[in-house]
Amino acid sequence: MATLRTRLLLATLLAGGSTNCLIDTGPINMPPTVQIDDLNQSLNRDKPVIFTATIHDPDQSTDSLNVAWYVGANDNCNKAATTAPQNCNSQRNDLCSYTPTAPGPLCVIVQVTDRYGAKATASRVFTVQDQPPTAVISLISPAVIAGPLPPSSSLSFSAASSTDPDDPNGSLTFGWTVTQNGTSLSASTCPSPQTPAICSFTAATPGAYHVQLIATDPSQMKSAPISVDFVINEDQPPCIVGYSPASLQTMASAGEDNSFIVTSVADDLDPYPGSTGSTLGTFTWWYRVGTTGGFQREVPQVSNRLDVNADFFATGDLIQIRVAYQDRVSRPLSSCDQDAETCDLVPGCAQWVTWTVQFL
C-alpha cells in the first residue's frame, strides 16, 4: 500500500552560498469516505431488508475499519444519535439487515472510523410503506348461495378471514354496507357492536341485495372493497302436496274416531315437514254440513291434523272438511275458487283441500 507523504522545502540563505533542505514530516492520515446505497426493493413493515454502504479508505483496507450502523423510525437523521450502538443483524460491516416494525420514515446512519480515529458519516431517510389490508367475506349461513333465496331468509357473513400483510396479528376494523335495489338499508342492519366482524340480517322483502365490506388497518389504510350479491325472490304460495285420506271423496264411520292429516307442504319459506319436522306456517280447519253454504270454522288449529271424535257426526251425514295453509308471509291464493276441491293456481299446488265425507 502506497504511503502519501508531504515534503517541506526550506530555503536558507547561508553566508558564502545557499543550501536547500528537504525535511520529511512523516505520513498524514486520509479519512475514509462512505455513502448509503440505493435500495432495489420496497420497504414494508415486518419484511427484512438489507441496507448497503459503499466505503472507501485511501490509507488502508476497509476490513480494518470500524463500521457502526443506526437504523430507527425518525424523519430527521440529524436528531438520531450517530453514536448509538449497532442494531443491525449482519456479519459484514458494509451490510445492515433490518426488519422495520412500523410504517413511516426510517433513518439510516452509517459511521466509519479508521484506526487513527478519523470518521466519516452518511445518513439517509427511507420510507416504510404501509400495505393495505385484504378484505375477505366468508358466508356463514346459508352455507351456499346458489340462486335466488326465499323471503325472510336469514344471512350471516364474516370478515374474520381478512388480513393485514404488515401486521398479521393486528386488529382491523370493518365497514359493512347493505343495499337493497340500490338503496342503503338502516345502518343498524349489521354488524352488531358486540361482533363487528359479523354481518347478520334478515332479508325480509324481495329484491337485489348487495353486501360490501371494507377493512381498515390501525394506520387507517383501507382495503379494496369486496362484495357479495344475491337476490330474494317474490314469495311463492304454499302448496299442500300430501294428505290423508288420499281420496277427496271418502267414506267414514260415524261411530269411530276419524283423522284428517296434511302430510306434506311444499313452500319456498316453510316447507312441511321441514328439517326439524315443524313449520312456522299455519294450518286452519273448517267444516260444513253438505256441499253448499258457508264453512264453520273449528276451534283454531295450528296442527297438521284434525281428529274427529266418534259420534261427532251422525250416520248419513254428508260433511265437507277443509284445511288451508299459509306460510309466515301469509301468502294467499285469493283467486282460487272457494268451492273447488283443490286450488291449482300453481300447477299441482293446493293452498287448501276439501274432503267430501259420507258418514256410514
Facing residues of 214 across strands?
A: 175
Q: Which cell is 267 given? A: 313452500
Residues 317 and 268 in one domain: yes
Number of structural domains (the chain) is 3
Torsion sign (Cα): 334, 340, 342, 344: negative
Write out the E strands in 28-86: 33-36, 49-56, 66-73
Provide the 10 A C-beta neighbour count for residue 21: 9
204 and 121 in a common domain: no
Q: Rounded to the nearest 10 degrees, how much is the dihedral formed by the CA atoms of 192, 194, 195, 196?
A: 70
Cα gap 298→306, rounded to integer Å = 10
- Collapsed DSSP state (helix, strand, coil) of residue 288: strand
Residues 257 and 354 in one domain: yes
Tell how far CA 235 is from the center of its chain.
30
What are φ and ψ of residue 79, in 5° steps? -85, -10
Residues 203, 107 share a domain: no
Distances (CA, A) of 289 to 245, 262, 293, 311: 19, 21, 8, 15
Q: Is residue 56 a part of any domain in this protein?
A: yes
Among candidate residues 205, 232, 259, the one where a domain is terminated: 232
Residue 348's domain comprises: 239-359
Q: Looking at the domain assignment, is residue 324 inside a domain?
A: yes
Type of residue found at 15: A
| Among 128, 160, 175, residue at a domain's last position | 128
Asked if residue 26 is part of any domain, the answer here is no
Whether residue 61 lies inside any domain: the answer is yes
Nearest-angstrom CA–CA distance, 178 and 198? 13
The 3-state DSSP class for residue 281 equals coil
Same domain? For 228 and 252 the reply is: no
The domain that contains 220 carries what CATH number? 2.60.40.10
Dihedral through CA 324, CA 326, CA 330, CA 335, nearest 10? -50
Report the distance separating Cα 199 and Cα 184, nearest Å: 15
Last residue of a domain, one of 232, 251, 279: 232
322 in a domain, yes or no? yes
pLDDT tens track of the chain, all 360 residues?
333 333 333 333 334 444 455 555 557 888 899 999 999 888 887 788 999 999 988 877 666 788 888 888 877 777 655 555 566 766 677 788 888 888 888 889 988 888 888 989 999 999 988 889 999 999 999 988 988 998 888 899 999 999 998 777 778 999 999 999 989 887 666 877 778 899 999 898 899 999 999 999 888 889 999 999 999 988 777 788 889 999 989 999 999 999 999 988 888 777 888 655 566 788 888 889 998 888 887 655 568 889 988 988 899 999 999 888 887 776 655 555 555 555 555 565 667 788 999 999
Residues 254 and 334 in one domain: yes
